[in-house]
Structure 1
Amino acid sequence: MTNKDAERLFRSGETKFHKGDFLGAQPCYELALTHDPQHVMALCQLGSIRMNRSDFAGAAPYFERALALNPSMAGPHNNYGVVLKELKRFADAAHHYQEAIRLDPKMAEAYSNLAVAQLFVNEFDDARQNLYRAIELRPTYYPAYWNLASLLSLEGRIDEAMQTYDAILRLMPDHADAHSNRALLRLTQGDFENGWAEHEWRFAAHPNQVRPPHAPRWQGEPLPGKTILVRAEQGLGDTFQFVRYLPWLKSLGANVVLECQVGLESILSRAGLADRVMERSPEGNASLPPCDFEIPLLSLPMMAGTNLETIPGATPYLSADPSRAAQWSRVLGRPGEGGLKVGVVWAGSPEHQNDAARSMSLASFAPLLDTPGVTLFSLQKGDAAGQLSQLPAGARVVDLGSRIQDFEDTAAIVENLDLVIAVDTSVAHLAAAMGKPVWLLLALVPDWRWLLERSDTPWYPAMRLFRQTTRNGWSALMRYVAAEAARLTEPARSVEEQLARIESIVAVGDLEEARRRLTEIIRLAPNNVRLLNTLGVVCWNQGETEEALKSFLAALEIDPSHRDTVLNCVEVFLAFGQHPDAEALCRSYLTRDPGDSEVSALLSQITIPAVSNAA
């Protein structure tokens, strides 16, 4: 046989290849190579077939051989770059993309692909320029727009990313992934009205995550006397966050059945948020009771018309099992005993699409290890827990992760801690849903639910957000976290100093920060009357009179003779029109200090004179 036979076999392979019959094309190309081992295009096509099968390691030698024989082919350079990028050889991939561009300066695909390789090595500026160039060369080239939108989102350039998704949807109006990603950006910006509705595209974007329907989708029909199935979706943290909406469904008259992930039935059943909780079964819908409607859990905010002001943010709505909490209390002691006890989680599931950005190493917690009065308790599970073995001898970190069997154990441990410091994981959601103080460590561009720039979150009132200021800037962030933790561990004699700091914060009008600091200190010194009184004053100035009254009354339970608190509490009673309560409080105080002229004068102003019936 001759090279003509090799060419005939190659053309036969091409016919099948271009019909999409890659399986049939492959032996044709292989036979062609047996007769002409230097048949460059057969090598290229065999590389392409393996590349299309995601066999990147198998594809690489074919492109390498082809380009060694003929290095002046732009297309194979581009394809080899794709293969090398998937093999995480980003510098080599960039080299071949650049060769493709040198050979064909108008190849939009190569510019777009080069940008992706640059993105992986954090060369964001160059990547952005190459994507703009790809779009300039081919204004309808969708992958370049997609890569640009992804890059802009990673940079936190949300408005520009939104505009890029708009451009994609002008080209492809029903592009589910673009709709789904644009929805998340809208939610990040707090545009819940449009964000929740567009978030419904997530099912079209990820059809493999859609389970067969068990009942008609609820579209807002009347629910009295009806049974509705709520199906958990996405991650465990999502479930902990959004089960808060189940009481709303019950308030509409529904019998609520929650289908949750394996391992959550016990803790969610105890919460009483649904009438029945069932873990997802391998049997699928066959294990479910008859239902009139069903709805995905994360569609409930849309159905409830949730905006930033109407998030049902009250906590706690989850709790630890009392018997398990008592068992762990014997191991850990109660919160506030023996210094600051902090539960830590530094890594989430490696399967999460954004895990590289949201997770850190335990080594980044080093500043906390050196903070006096702080003991860290590892709640970390999975491979990342292995980093504990790398800590120096004597490090104040207690490994509890190896003793945690389920979320009931996690909740019981959290119940006995003072604080949880964690990256964005299910443990953080669980602790916050229990009302435990949580310091959440966030990447420069975090998940949509944490919004932008805020240090608080309407989802969890006891949670504080610590945000990176630079990409991968965990070290600087953890130094700040350690400094804040040190402030919490200052001895009782420094309460005056802490109050002085807080008063200076109030003086500049930052009431939210003042309230946050007071809340944290009070958790460590719950019987300090001055702290409780100051918290009441801050709440009063925020217009939250009920919270102010609650704080004043808590202070008076500890010290009924604290004069400033008495005066403040009287003022709140009068604001509520509770004159008898104000009068009773003044009289009670005067029994202890009858010579207080200011309180006496106040009493004379609020005492209701008796009505005379004399003629």
Structure 2
Amino acid sequence: MPGLTHRSSPLLHCTRPPPSEGHSFMCLPTTGFTDQAVALTHRGAAALADGQEMLAVSCFTLAAILAPHRASIWHNLGEARRALGQVTGAARAYHHALRLRPAYPKAWAGLASLLHKSRRFKAAARASMRALALDPGFAEGWSVAGSILLEQRAMERLPIILRRAVRLAPDSVPAWLALAGGLGETAEPALPLACVQRAVALAPDRPAGYVNHAGLLIRQGRLDAAGALHDRLRRLAPLEGYAEAGDSLVATLRGDFATAVSLARRSLVLQPSSPAALINLSLAEHDNGQAERARRGNERAILLHPESDVARFNLSMVLLAQGDFANGWRLYESRWRMERVAYPAHAPRWQGGDPAGRSFLLVAEQGQGDTLHFVRYAPMLAALGAQVHLMVQPSLVRLLSGLPGIASVRSLTEPPPVCDACIPLLSLPLVFGTTLATIPASVPYLHASEQDRGTWKRRLDGERRLKVGLVWAGSAHDDQFLAHMVDRRRSLPLAALAPLAGIPGVRFCSLQKGPAASEAPPAGLDLVDWMEAVGDFADTAALVAELDLVISVDTSVCHLAGALGRPVWMLSRYDSCWRWLRDRSDSPWYPTMRLFRQDRPGDWAPVILRVRAALERWAAQF
């Protein structure tokens, strides 16, 4: 579940394990140990199991002073410091343990976890493999290796590794939850659900399994079933805030942002020092239009948990929406780590410097609208003397092949060209140091071919009315529930445009693709649909170029119209995308764009009435 994270269990050594789930212990002989060192080891293990990391560090530190020759104590100290976020101190403790006992798989695994958390993936992989070489049956070693593979998006090998961990430790709740996470990326929904259900069966009195189970159900769109699990969590752990956090996410998905904020605040009251609770609240506040609160909350979450990529990414969304591009673009790079999507590996990353004389591969990374939005930077890079190649969505290849100075344009499905460096399109504003005042907003930067435009000129020849293109729905993303719920908030049924019917001097032309294109227009709406003749964005661009105005929800066509320099009115949902900034009716990205924003979540009626009034004024002057 977004925002709800679970710390990996430390691998402690003590003479007698405290009653704690998920910890691995070894009974140590007391010969040569002082009674104080033994007692401190017990106390430190119990403190760490109870989440009292500072106390655990103190106990293990004193135990190490009393018995400095015991590698196990130094390893335990490393575990406690890692849990507390003391990266340097934890690394010193692990290395000291390994100097005392080089063949120590648990210390190698702990070091691997620390290196992985510090994003030193190659070193982490070496340490985890060292642990497994010393003990091939070490379940936690396989779990650490699985975490590294998950981060590196080695998805084909990940389930193999995680299944090995489960076979070695079939009663390990963390192992089953890790396998559920790995399978959730690659498998049929029933498999990860079976894994979390197994975790719940192993520990029915522990919240971790229920939290992960509810998160999977939410991703699959089973919101009511997730709500039932939240009720169970509320009874099981009433003071932990898990249920409120989950219900807050469900309310956000349903567009009930005020309720989401209320629930997230309740979760934070129960967990006042929890970065996850702060992140959840800040996300809800951002969607609810409380930008300053969201900014402060994410900043506090980063202070509490400096390694939180989720907090960094969410803060970037807030800052970019506020126009703080200097900080926003930098934090926006955390999207690669948060989403666990590998940076394009077609060529080395561009580390900066003079691009002249070098070849660059610019890669589309998100939706078609994002590509249309940020491809404006490609000619700018070419103008600096670089040889620029593009890899984009297949539907955009023909249109973008007309960009000036571009060496080649290829589909994402084609083999990449050999280049000196690679960079995703949405990282280019950071490279160019774009601020609100320096947005490259010269339009048009895209052009339809005269040959393609000829078809639409002939069809529209003689039309004297105002020619207005309509797009009322985005891509439904039926295979990705979270994206699907965002689309439900940005899209509207064609019937909702009924107030636009009967405006004198206006002829509407559908620019809608996908299932929504089959919706019947409301009575009186003069709507012609030629989209069956449109095969790609080059065709759509040619049609848009012959229109006087485009009215569109927040989808790729509004970017296309803006890039072509055509007048475009965008219908923006209440929780609008960061790129449209806050409280503006214009866009510095597209000089020909006008924004019509929702005043309340889900309430399109006033928006459409404002559009009608503006359209009547324009048609009267046309």
TM-score range for the pair, normalised by the shorter chain length: 0.5 to 0.7
**Structure that is richer in helix per residue:** 1
Does the CA contact (< 8 Å) of 1:318 and 1:434 recur in 2? yes
Query: Is residue 363 from structure 1 mapped to residue 495 from structure 2 by the alignment?
Result: yes
Paired position in structure 2 for 1:190:
323
Paired position in structure 2 for 1:589:
none
Residues 77-88 of structure 1 mapped to structure 2, 5 A cutoff: 85=218, 88=221
Paired position in structure 1 for 2:415:
284
Note closer, same or farther for the CA distance 1:135–1:395 as it changes in structure 2 (3 Å cut).
closer
In structure 2, give the amino acid aligned to 1:441: L
Q: Which of residues 377, 396, 409 is equivalent to 2:526?
A: 396
Paired position in structure 2 for 1:570:
none
- Quote the offset at 1:86 in angstroms: 5.2
Task: Report SS of the residue matched to 2:336.
Answer: helix
Query: Is residue 422 from structure 1 mapped to residue 552 from structure 2 by the alignment?
Result: yes
Query: Is residue 347 from structure 1 mapped to residue 473 from structure 2 by the alignment?
Result: yes
Note closer, same or farther for the CA distance 1:135–1:262 as it changes in structure 2 (3 Å cut).
same
TM-score, structure 1 normalization: 0.65
Q: How many pairs does the alignment contain? A: 459
Q: Which of residues 235, 238, 242 is equivalent to 1:105?
A: 238
Cα distance per residue 1:355-400 (max 9 Å; x no partner): 222222211211112322222111111122122xx33566411112
- Distance in 1 (CA, whole Å) between partners of 2:253 and 2:372 is 32
- Quote the offset at 1:24 in angstroms: 8.8
**Which structure: larger Rg?**
1
- Quote the offset at 1:330 in angstroms: 0.8
Sequence identity percentage: 36
Note closer, same or farther for the CA distance 1:175–1:441 as it changes in structure 2 (3 Å cut).
same
Query: Is residue 382 from structure 1 mapped to residue 514 from structure 2 by the alignment?
Result: yes
Cα distance per residue 1:39-77 (max 9 Å; x no partner): xx99xx99999799557768999999x99xxx9998887
- Quote the offset at 1:92 in angstroms: 5.5
Does the CA contact (< 8 Å) of 1:368 and 1:374 recur in 2? no
Paired position in structure 1 for 2:439:
311
Does the CA contact (< 8 Å) of 1:149 and 1:164 recur in 2? yes
Note closer, same or farther for the CA distance 1:80–1:17 as it changes in structure 2 (3 Å cut).
farther
In structure 1, give the amino acid aligned to 2:409: M
Q: Which of residues 179, 185, 194 is equivalent to 2:312?
A: 179
Note closer, same or farther for the CA distance 1:25–1:179 as it changes in structure 2 (3 Å cut).
closer
- Distance in 2 (CA, whole Å) between partners of 1:80 and 1:217 is 40
Paired position in structure 2 for 1:487:
617
- Distance in 1 (CA, whole Å) between partners of 2:336 and 2:218 is 29
In structure 2, give the amino acid aligned to 1:292: D
Task: Report SS of the residue matched to 1:461.
Answer: strand
Residues 314-333 of structure 1 mapped to structure 2, 5 A cutoff: 314-333=442-461
Does the CA contact (< 8 Å) of 1:346 and 1:362 recur in 2? yes
Paired position in structure 2 for 1:165:
298
Q: Which of residues 265, 276, 284 is equivalent to 1:151?
A: 284
In structure 2, give the amino acid aligned to 1:144: A
Does the CA contact (< 8 Å) of 1:344 and 1:420 recur in 2? yes
Task: Report SS of the residue matched to 1:453.
Answer: coil
Does the CA contact (< 8 Å) of 1:115 and 1:130 recur in 2? yes
Cα distance per residue 1:440-475 (max 9 Å; x no partner): 111112111111111111111111111111101112
Task: Report SS of the residue matched to 1:329.
Answer: helix
Query: Is residue 443 from structure 1 mapped to residue 576 from structure 2 by the alignment?
Result: no
Query: Is residue 275 from structure 1 mapped to residue 401 from structure 2 by the alignment?
Result: no
In structure 1, give the amino acid aligned to 2:433: G
Over the aligned positions, Cα root-mean-square deviation in angstroms equals 3.9
- Quote the offset at 1:96 in angstroms: 4.7
- Distance in 2 (CA, whole Å) between partners of 1:356 and 1:175 is 29
Q: Which residues of structure 2 form unaligned runs of 5+?
A: 1-21, 25-136, 144-161
- Distance in 1 (CA, whole Å) between partners of 2:212 and 2:412 is 43
Paired position in structure 2 for 1:405:
535
Does the CA contact (< 8 Å) of 2:257 and 2:287 recur in 1? no
Q: Which residues of structure 1 form unaligned runs of 5+?
A: 1-12, 30-40, 491-520, 525-615
Does the CA contact (< 8 Å) of 2:180 and 2:195 recur in 1? no
TM-score, structure 2 normalization: 0.65
Task: Report SS of the residue matched to 1:344.
Answer: strand
- Distance in 2 (CA, whole Å) between partners of 1:438 and 1:72 is 56
Q: Which of residues 367, 378, 395 is equivalent to 1:263?
A: 395
Q: Which of residues 226, 247, 267 is equivalent to 1:114?
A: 247
Cα distance per residue 1:544-594 (max 9 Å; x no partner): xxxxxxxxxxxxxxxxxxxxxxxxxxxxxxxxxxxxxxxxxxxxxxxxxxx
Note closer, same or farther for the CA distance 1:254–1:105 as it changes in structure 2 (3 Å cut).
closer
Note closer, same or farther for the CA distance 1:213–1:485 as it changes in structure 2 (3 Å cut).
same
Does the CA contact (< 8 Å) of 1:226 and 1:255 recur in 2? yes
Task: Report SS of the residue matched to 2:394.
Answer: coil
- Distance in 1 (CA, whole Å) between partners of 2:400 and 2:495 is 34
- Distance in 1 (CA, whole Å) between partners of 2:591 and 2:455 is 28
- Distance in 1 (CA, whole Å) between partners of 2:504 and 2:326 is 46
Cα distance per residue 1:403-433 (max 9 Å; x no partner): 2111121111111111000011111111111
Query: Is residue 202 from structure 1 mapped to residue 335 from structure 2 by the alignment?
Result: yes
Residues 448-597 of structure 1 mapped to structure 2, 5 A cutoff: 448-490=578-620, 524=622
